[in-house]
Amino acid sequence: MEKTLQNYMDGSSYNKPEMLLSTFTKNATLYLTGRDGFKLYSPEEYVGFFKNAKIGKFNGRVATILATEVVKDIATAKVEIAGPDRKWIYIDLFLLKKFENGWKIISKTATRVDDGK
């Protein structure tokens, strides 16, 4: 499970769309609040947020795993995602499922926890 989370963190911090997409099941649900309010995103839509950035270049996102819990073939994870110089901080909550080929993220949600909105 830690490898999947690390690939998620590296993929989103270093603009690696293929690595990032590989962490999700095809039908994963991502419930996020963005410019258009609270919305359901597909993994492809989420990965699209990183499409205009240079692949492999650090974008300032620093991710830290705060907690995990594994129960047989399912798991939860809590990850802090902080923007450049901690100008914004999100807490991401993940649901993961273990498959024959390893752990995959089946759902994710996030909320901003700094003083910004």
CATH code, 94: 3.10.450.50
The verdict on residue 26 lying in a domain is yes
pTM of the predicted model as reported, rounded to 2 decimal places? 0.92
The verdict on residue 117 lying in a domain is no
What total number of domains does the chain contain? 1
15-41 tens-digit pLDDT = 999 999 999 999 999 999 877 889 999
Q: What is the domain range of residue 89?
A: 2-112
pLDDT beyond 70 at 117: no
Q: What is the pLDDT of residue 69?
A: 98
6-21 tens-digit pLDDT = 999 999 999 999 999 9
Q: What is the pLDDT of residue 33?
A: 85
Q: What is the pLDDT of residue 114?
A: 87
65-103 tens-digit pLDDT = 999 999 999 999 999 999 988 899 999 999 999 999 999
Q: Which two tokens stand for residue 45?
A: 């839509």
- Comparing 79 with 50, which gets the higher pLDDT? 79
Long-range CB pairs of 52-58, under 8 A, 24+ apart, other chains included: 53/15, 54/15, 55/14, 55/15, 55/16, 55/17, 56/14, 56/15, 56/16, 57/14, 57/15, 58/13, 58/14
The verdict on residue 72 lying in a domain is yes
